Amino acid sequence: MSNAFARNRPLWLALILAVVALALVFVAGWWFGRVAERSHEAKEVAHAAQPAPRDSALGRADLTQIDGLRRGIPVDQEAAPLPMARVQNLDVKRERAYPMQPPTIPHAIDGYQVDKNSNRCMLCHARANAEKFQAPPVSVTHYMDRDDQFLASISSRRYFCNQCHVVQTDAPLLVNNAFEDIDQVLAAAEAGTATAEAAGKVQ
Ligand code: HEC
Ligand code: HEC
């Protein structure tokens, strides 16, 4: 060993120096990393200490503004994000706002694939399968082509269900909505007193 060392002395020295240099670089990197991390943490703490403006003061209460997504928070300030909305999965059919409204979907549709080869929705909503799954079969319009001829299977015009039917979430309203149901309009007209506007506000 000592012979080998003596023979390759410069080589060994270079090796030892390289190892020491590498160790130094490693320690320096670790140390700088910690310093950077601490200053980042400090910034985050400072950020948390002054809370971003919440929607109670600015957004949700004032549903008349159209700036629904930013909720009135100035562009140079970061908004506290609203909680993620959950898809309603109550299995209770909802009222339709007008006779030809595509009904909203009262159940979750996660992972229900609709593509060229398969249509998961029709597993339950096809006329032939509806009984088994106790699902409402798609109405006759879904079997009609554009010339009003009835087809044996779902019309290609109605194949992509989510074009017209959508799930609903529990997200709060972003902007106000003054939609009036035709029954409310008629009731208001009949009553003769209340204006249609007032009827809309009853909701
Ligand atoms: C596992 C069976 C099943 C699948 C798959 C399914 N549904 Fe349903 N669907 C039902 C049942 C059952 C109902 C009746 C209400 C309930 O129990 O949720 C329903 C209700 C509906 C309604 C409400 C109808 C009304 O009159 O209000 C719509 C719209 C609807 N589904 C659309 C879809 C769409 C679009 C898909 C595919 C993305 C789909 N469904 C996939 C079983 C299913
Ligand atoms: C082009 C829009 C459109 C597409 C695409 C569409 N629907 Fe509909 N759907 C409607 C409309 C409008 C209604 C309500 C009037 C009617 O029955 O035609 C309806 C009604 C329904 C109903 C209620 C039927 C009843 O008698 O109460 C179900 C269930 C339904 N659709 C499921 C589906 C499914 C499943 C698909 C995909 C295979 C689909 N729809 C594709 C527009 C559409």
pLDDT tens digit sequence for 136-149: 999 999 999 999 99
Output the pLDDT for position 52. 43
91 and 161 belong to one structural domain: yes
Task: Please tell me the distance from the alpha carbon of residue 161 to that of residue 112, in angstroms, as a whole number.
Answer: 11
CATH number assigned to the domain comprising residue 142: 1.10.1130.10
CB 159 within 8 A of CB 150: no
* Position 201 in a domain: no
102 and 145 belong to one structural domain: yes
* Position 190 in a domain: no
Classify 114 as helix, strand or coil.
strand
Q: What is the extent of the structural domain holding 131?
A: 85-171
- What percent of the chain clears pLDDT 90, i.e. is strictly above it? 57
55 and 73 belong to one structural domain: yes
Output the pLDDT for position 61. 47
From the CA of 104, give the closest atom in ligand 1: 29
78 and 129 belong to one structural domain: no
116 and 141 belong to one structural domain: yes
38 and 115 belong to one structural domain: no
* Position 36 in a domain: yes
The whole-number average pLDDT for the span 46-68 is 51
* Position 34 in a domain: yes
Residue in this structure with the two tokens 């007008």, named with its chain if needed: 98
Classify 192 as helix, strand or coil.
coil
* Position 91 in a domain: yes
Classify 167 as helix, strand or coil.
strand
Length in residues, the chain = 203
Output the pLDDT for position 100. 93
92 and 77 belong to one structural domain: no
38 and 114 belong to one structural domain: no
Residue range 84-134, pLDDT digits in tens = 999 999 999 999 999 899 999 999 999 999 999 999 999 999 999 999 999
104 and 141 belong to one structural domain: yes
* Position 200 in a domain: no
Output the pLDDT for position 50. 47
The number of folded domains in the chain is 3
Which ligand ends up closest to the CA of 135?
1
Output the pLDDT for position 174. 76
The whole-number average pLDDT for the span 185-200 is 73
Cβ of 20 less than 6 Å from ligand 1: no
Q: Does residue 53 have a pLDDT over 50?
A: no
* Position 203 in a domain: no
Of residues 7 and 65, the one with the higher pLDDT is 7
> What is the whole-number distance in angstroms between the Cα of residue 36 and the centre of ligand 1?
53
From the CA of 162, give the closest atom in ligand 1: 35
Give the predicted TM-score (pTM) of the model: 0.72
* Position 198 in a domain: no
The whole-number average pLDDT for the span 164-169 is 97
Output the pLDDT for position 98. 92
Half-sphere exposure of 203 (CA within 13 A, CB side): 14
